Amino acid sequence: MTTALRVVSALLLTTATALAVAPPRPGIRSWAPPTPAFQAGAEIHATADHLDGDFTHQRILLSGNVTLVSADQQIQADRLEVTLDAQGRRIETLDAQGEVQLVYGPYTATGDRARFDTAVGHAQLLGHARIWGEAREVSGDSIDVDLERRVLKVTAGRVLLPPDATLPALRITADTIMADDVAGRADLTGAVEVVAGLRHLWAGNAVLELDPQTGALRRLRAGGGVRIEEGERRGRADRGSYDLVKRTLLLEGNADFTEGVSRLRGERIHVNLTTRQVEVERGTIHYRQD
C-alpha cells in the first residue's frame, strides 16, 4: 500500500491560498448557497497516496485519497491538480476529480468534478453537482458560477430557498436556471416548475425578481404556456405574471381562471387574490355563490 504523503504549506505555497465562502451581496437573499472561492493567508495541509510536483511550471498533482485542509475549509477527491502563479504564491487553477466533496463553513459542495480559475473568477461543478447549507440548496448536471459578477448557471437544475416573511420555502426546477444575485433576478427556461406552499406554477419559461431592499421574491413572470394552482384556484394562459407583494395575478392570451365552481375566460384576466376583484377583457364570466 502506498504511504500517504503529507504536503505542508512550505511545499505548496509561500503565501498559501484557501477555499473560502464568497459572501452574498449585502441585503440581497442569494439564489443559492455561496460557492467556494479563493483568498490568501491560510496555511494548507494536504494528504494523498501520490504527489507529482513540477515546480518549473508551478504545477502540483495529488492522486489517491486526496484531502486538502485549510482552516475550516476542506476538499476531498480522487485526484487534485493545482497550478500556481509565476512566483508560486497564489493558486491560479484547481481541478478536482472523482467523488469531489468541498466543505466550507456551513456549506457542502459535491460533484464528479470541480474546477476553479481564480484569474477569471470562475467556478464549476460537473456531474451530480450539488451545493447546500443553511436551508438552501442548488443542484443539477452542472453548476457554473461567475464569482466576480455573482451569476449562477445551472443545467437540469433545482434550487431550494428558505422561507421568508412573505413566502414559505421556495422550490424551483427548470432545464436551465440563470440567476444573477446583483440584479436580483433568475431566468428559467424549459420545463419550469415553481412551488411555494400551496402555490404551484408550471411554464415553458419564467423570470423571478427579488425585492432589492428585502431580498424577498417580489414578482414572477412566465410564458410558453402557463398553468397555476393555489388551493381551489386554477389558471391557464399563454403567459402570466404574479405579483407576490400586491397578491395579484395577470393571465394573458387564451386565459382561463377557475375558483371552485366560478370560471373566467378571456383574452386577459386580472385577479386580486386578496380582495377577489377581477377584470376580464374580451371574455365571459360564470359565477355561482355557494
134-162 pLDDT per residue, tens: 888 999 999 998 888 888 999 999 999 88
Strands 45-48 and 36-40: unpaired
CA angle, 94 as apex, 93 and 96 as ends, to 5°?
A: 155
- Classify domain 163-290 at the CATH class level: mainly beta
Cite the DSSP H helix spans in the chain: 9-12
Query: How many beta carbons lie within 10 A of that of residue 197, not counting itself?
Result: 12
pLDDT value of position 215: 67
Total number of residues shown for the chain: 290
pLDDT value of position 12: 35
Closest C-alpha to 219, from 241, 195, 239, 234? 241
pLDDT tens digit sequence for 177-235: 998 888 888 999 999 999 988 889 999 999 998 876 766 778 899 999 999 998 888 99
Same fold flag, 1-140 and 163-290: yes
8 A C-beta contact, residue 264 and residue 283: yes
Closest C-alpha to 138, from 116, 122, 115, 154? 154
Q: Could you give phi then psi for residue 42, rounded to 5 degrees?
A: -110, 145
Domain ranges, ordered by start, for the chain:
1-140, 163-290
Residue 287 has pLDDT above 80, yes or no: no
Residue 264 has pLDDT above 50, yes or no: yes
Beta-bridged to residue 58, according to DSSP, are none
10: Cβ–Cβ under 8 A, 6 or more apart, which residues? none
pLDDT value of position 26: 40
CA distance 132 to 123: 16
pTM for this prediction: 0.83
The distance of Cα 239 from the centroid of its chain, to the nearest Å, equals 25
pLDDT value of position 75: 92
CA distance 168 to 199: 10
**Which grid coordinates belong to 206?**
419564467
- Classify domain 1-140 at the CATH class level: mainly beta
